[in-house]
Chain A
Amino acid sequence: MSNYNFAYLDEGTKRMIRRAILKAVAVPGYQVPFASREMPMPYGWGTGGVQVTAACLTPEDTLKVIDQGADDTTNAVSIRKFFQRTAGVAVTERTLEASIIQTRHRIPETPLGPDQILVYQVPIPEPLRFLEPRETETRRMHALQDYGLMHVKLYEDIARNGEIATSYAYPVTVAGRYVMDPSPIPKFDNPKLSDSPALQLFGAGREQRIYAVPPHTRVVSLDFEDHPFVASKAPHACDLCGDEGSYLDEVITDDAGGRMFVCSDTDHCATRRAAGHAGRLAPVGDAA
């Protein structure tokens, strides 16, 4: 513990990141460049999120880390342990108890409150990247609010698949100005981005960008008038807790085509089961 500065990063770096965060909050949805540091994990494992979390952490914070909604996957466990070791902060798996939640690919089912910060790990922050490879050009497009191309992508989706097939990293307009990549969260989670009481910060380590959605900011998913945005999910109920409204993972259970659907948000599922809800395949006695 004494071998590290609090939360691993040195204070100068944290100040630099906090300045970027402040700018990002001041200009919702705008990608602020920052001097991303080497972290003791590979790019693509959440280096951006980790740096943002490190810059936000105080010794009084309670940290929760989720990966695809789960608290117990490799990525989540290792990042949680990293901050336990380098910052000594309290950690939790309960969404309600956490003051900072670092996430990859999900927004928790439990509504967030005004005292919480949600930190997203972002692989590719530029929503226009796959349409326009030149960074100089995409920056100009953002500056001029030249977003016709974004709809070309959605048009292509409908032309090929009959509907908007983009199911994750679904582009949004933040506060009526910038088009933003919400990180690869399922589009099911997009409505939760809007008007959230919590501060939402996005960190992209490899791409060296930070952006933010301040509390109570309007976030609108792009769509066509005759093909409106739909927050889709698998048409099932959770097989463990019976919830029909949560986002589900499909789990293959045997070689004979057996499968089950379970909440991707493990804390949400466990909380519901503890409260007595049971799904189709819940083990007998589990609810008690």
Chain B
Amino acid sequence: MSGDTPLLSVRGLTKSYGTRLGCADVTFDLWPGEVMGIVGESGSGKSTLLGCMAGHLAPDAGAVVFDTRADGPRDVLAMSEPERRMLARTDWAFVHQNPRDGLRMGVSAGGNVGERLMAVGARHYGQIRAQAVDWLDRVEIAADRIDDRPRQFSGGMQQRLQIARNLVTGPRLVFMDEPTGGLDVSVQARLLDLLRGLVRQMGLSAVIVTHDLAVVRLLADRLMVMKDGLVVETGLTDQVLDDPQHAYTQLLVASVLQA
């Protein structure tokens, strides 16, 4: 965990679906405390890339080296399934676009937040509940909603609950797949505000996949633009958005509707 080791280092990550390319030869480093945005149109391979990094999909080639707390840098893809699962619920977090994919809709908000704690061995009800209350407060959900099920929550609340559920074990790396998708703008703004605060506060590193350029401008330090499975441009977020070099990036930036 020294300052000169990247937290996550992706090398030549490639995944194809039969003859169709998902993503090809993606290489980048993510440093501690850094937020990387991945943008591109639908079908450009963003979600495939994210899935491969997070261990949801098996890539065809490449390496994903994570700087683990215990053993230093290790290739996640070469880990055993129990190790990967342990990592996924301690040091990693994954925020899905649709909260229904990331929450247990039949389990109370408190149970949702507590699940990761119980999965890593917490067996004290009072402490689990206290931590759930604390986290609900941090994502601006009233403590008296702790025993309500996510079904009874609005879309924005569900998304905030999903974030609380993911961050409760104090992860160091968060993968986010369109975290603001499907939310109206005012709710989006509050969520982004919250996310930005948490990322800064906890010193999180994050990989955010989105097609919303406003989201990456707010959250991401660095940006990677994908097209047809390939990375076509990388750079500092402001630099890429204000002075796009690649033709596709120029198109993407020019396509944003001005409100």
Q: Is B123 an interface residue (CB 8 A)?
A: yes
* Nearest A-chain residue to B122, judged by Cβ: A151
* Nearest A-chain residue to B129, judged by Cβ: A159
Q: Verify B147–A159 contact, CB threshold 8 A.
A: yes
Q: Verify A224–B124 contact, CB threshold 8 A.
A: yes
Chain B interface mostly: helix
Q: Is B82 an interface residue (CB 8 A)?
A: yes
CA distance A144 to B83 in the complex (A): 10
Point out the residues of chain A lying under 8 angstroms from B81, CB to CB: 144
* Nearest B-chain residue to A141, judged by Cβ: B85
- Expressed in whole angstroms, the minimum distance between the Cβ of B143 and any Cβ of chain A is 13
What's the tally of chain B residues with a CB closer than 8 Å to chain A? 23
Q: Verify B123–A155 contact, CB threshold 8 A.
A: no
What's the tally of chain A residues with a CB closer than 8 Å to chain B? 18
Surface stretch bound by A, among B24-32, B43-51, B62-70, B113-121:
B113-121
- Expressed in whole angstroms, the minimum distance between the Cβ of A142 and any Cβ of chain B is 12
CA distance A159 to B89 in the complex (A): 23
CA distance A151 to B128 in the complex (A): 11
Q: Is A226 an interface residue (CB 8 A)?
A: yes
CA distance A46 to B146 in the complex (A): 41
- Expressed in whole angstroms, the minimum distance between the Cβ of B88 and any Cβ of chain A is 11
Q: Verify B111–A155 contact, CB threshold 8 A.
A: yes
| A residues adjacent to B (C-beta < 8 A) | 131, 144-146, 148-149, 151-152, 155-156, 158-160, 223-227
Interchain Cβ contacts under 8 Å between A and B, 24 examples: A145-B82, A148-B89, A148-B115, A148-B119, A148-B120, A149-B118, A149-B119, A152-B104, A152-B107, A152-B115, A152-B118, A155-B110, A155-B111, A155-B128, A156-B111, A159-B129, A159-B147, A160-B108, A160-B147, A223-B123, A224-B123, A224-B125, A225-B124, A226-B124
11 extra interface residue pairs, beta carbon distance < 8 Å, beyond A151-B123, A159-B108, A223-B123: A144-B81, A144-B82, A148-B89, A148-B116, A148-B118, A148-B120, A155-B125, A155-B128, A158-B125, A159-B147, A160-B108
